[in-house]
Amino acid sequence: MTTTLRAQDQLIGLLRDGLPDRAVLIAERDRRAYERDTAPFGPSGTPAVVVRPETVQQVQHVLRVASHLGVPVVPQGARTGLAGAANAVEGCVVLSMLAMNRILEIDAPNRLARCEPGVMTGDISRAVAHLGLCYPPDPVSADICTIGGNIATGAGGVCCVKYGVTTDYVRELVVVLANGEVTRLGGKTVKNVAGLDLKRLFVGSEGTLGVVVEATLGLRPVPGESLAILAQFPTATLAGEAVAAIIKRGHTPSALELMDAVTTGAVHALGHPSIQDPNAATLIAESDAPDRVDEVAAMARVCSESGATVVVAAINDEESKQLLSARRMIMPALQAKAATMPGDVRSFIEDVAVPRTRLAELIDRIGEVSAEHGVFIATLGHAGDGNLHPIVVFDAADHGSLRRAQHAYDDVMAAGLALGGTITGEHGVGVVKRDWLARELDPVSLRLQQEIKRVFDPAGILNPGKVLA
């Protein structure tokens, strides 16, 4: 015990040598506040210390000290992650990047923004909107998550069906390695094939390879006005078939979002005015193309042909935004519903993705999993990408409920893999899906991943136990 305390004192002393006092948090309350991201299960520990560096040099100092002492370092953004990738490990240094939150440069003519990692994702688009530009990836958490966290997880979002995900917008990264060295990966040009594409190796690496201290991101012109439709179907399976048909017909919607009947009912109960049938599955399709009137009309026809019983069409941008707002009401609506349920109600948010033609089968299988385990599952997601977020609800006060929910969570991943899909489309592996990675990747690929990890972090101090075992 004394030895441990001495080691902790030495760690904190050395960290203070290169950090301002305000950047070193040692109070138990502070340390406990940085223990977990939003994954409701998976292991975590209490950090020995939380540091909030304000400069690249301070990040280097932290990593040099941690390397010197062999102490694990867990990088964190806003801890909105859903896979436990930001969970602290016992006795680690939590390296919170929230204090490095400046937009460093906006280069409108080259459509670039250079940011520190702690910038909130939604702030980037707000900062460039007056220039007619935006940063497209739009996770539902965009206003409360950081761009550094988005890079670490490879975040997606609603408009990604048309505009792509985080990796498509990362041009250049400055990273600090485990040993404190700094390197610059990628470049500021649109195209660059000078050497191996290390910047993209960092996207989705969940803080296991190094710490992103600066990112140069590509921007796009703000899309034109959008038009949306909201279609309702007797079953989510029919809605899934409509999604496949929309893609097959060659449409490129700017959003194509699904809510099953449970989710639809919750959003209706929270008072969304456009939901006519609270017992039906709902599909929202949006087009922001110059020919959006035609494209939306065509998508509405596909929905009708696929069995939609209700199709509500917006007639202008404002009405479209209102239809889309149903998407952003889902989490509060489900929380409100959960509040009416007995027990200490929590949920796991799944993130499986399948080829779009297999979506209906995945939805069917989720229904079976729910019935088999007697578990409440609300299914929603970025259907246009084949990416669903089934939300598995459980009573944390009831051990049996938790166990059944975990089995259901696992069975949904198994269903995703069986349909040629992936265990994670945009939330990452973290700790909660680590054991599942070996079921998606073959042993050779897993070994390569482990060896690449060792190239960047030979002593294994960076976010140990995440992604790879």
Q: How many CB atoms lie under 10 A from the CB of residue 332?
A: 12
Least Cβ distance, residue 392 to its own copies (angstroms): 19
Which of 90, 105, 168, 435 binds its own copies (CB under 8 A)? It is 168
d(CA 446, CA 333) in angstroms, rounded, equals 39
**How far, in Å, CA of 258 to CA of 248, rounded?**
17
The number of helix segments (H) and strand segments (E) in the chain equals: 16, 21
Question: Are the C-beta atoms of 97 and 118 separated by less than 8 Å?
Answer: yes
Which secondary-structure segment (H or E) carries 217? strand 211-218
Interhelix angle for 359-373 vs 399-418, to 10°? 160
- Which of 320, 330, 341, 315 is CA-nearest to residue 223? 320
Q: Which helix (H) or strand (E) holds 376?
A: strand 376-378
Restricting to residues 205-224, which ones interact with its own copies according to CB under 8 A? 205, 209, 221-222
Q: Which of 44, 146, 150, 167 binds its own copies (CB under 8 A)?
A: 167
Q: Does 248 bind its own copies (CB under 8 A)?
A: yes
Q: Which stretch binds its own copies (CB under 8 A): 122-130, 241-249, 257-265, 392-400?
A: 241-249
Site for its own copies in 318-337 (CB under 8 A): none
CA distance 202 to 154: 9
Please report whether residue 429 would count as binding its own copies according to CB under 8 A: yes
How far, in Å, CA of 281 to CA of 302, rounded? 16
Is residue 200 a contact point for its own copies (CB under 8 A)?
yes
Least distance in Å: CB of 62 to its own copies? 18
**Structure tokens given for 256:** 């194509």
Q: Which of residues 276-315 bind its own copies (CB under 8 A)?
A: 289-291
Nearest to 86 by CA among 386, 465, 366, 404: 465
CB of 140 to its own copies, least distance (A): 15
The CB-of-289 to its own copies minimum distance in angstroms stands at 6
Q: What whole-number distance in Å separates Cα of residue 149 and Cα of residue 128?
A: 20
The reply on whether position 442 binds its own copies by CB under 8 A is: yes
**Site stretch for its own copies (CB under 8 A), options 27-35, 243-251, 275-283, 389-397:** 243-251
Q: In the beta sheet, which residues pair with residue 134?
A: 220
**Which residue, 37 or 395, has its beta carbon nearer to its own copies?**
37
- Give the nearer residue to its own copies in terms of CB position, either 123 or 440: 440
Judged by beta carbon, residue 273 or residue 458, the one nearer its own copies is: 458
Nearest approach, Cβ of residue 217 and its own copies (Å): 14
Q: Which of residues 221-240 bind its own copies (CB under 8 A)?
A: 221-222
DSSP H or E run through 56: helix 56-69
Determine, following the binding rule CB under 8 A, whether residue 77 of this chain makes contact with its own copies: no
Binding residue (CB under 8 A) for its own copies from 74, 426, 457, 461? 426
Site for its own copies in 98-157 (CB under 8 A): 107-112, 132-133, 153-154, 156
Q: Would you give the end-to-end CA distance of the chain in angstroms?
A: 28
CB 452 within 8 A of CB 201: yes
Site size toward its own copies, by CB under 8 A: 88
Among 232, 254, 424, 463, binds its own copies (CB under 8 A): 424
Q: Which stretch binds its own copies (CB under 8 A): 10-18, 35-43, 329-337, 379-387?
A: 379-387
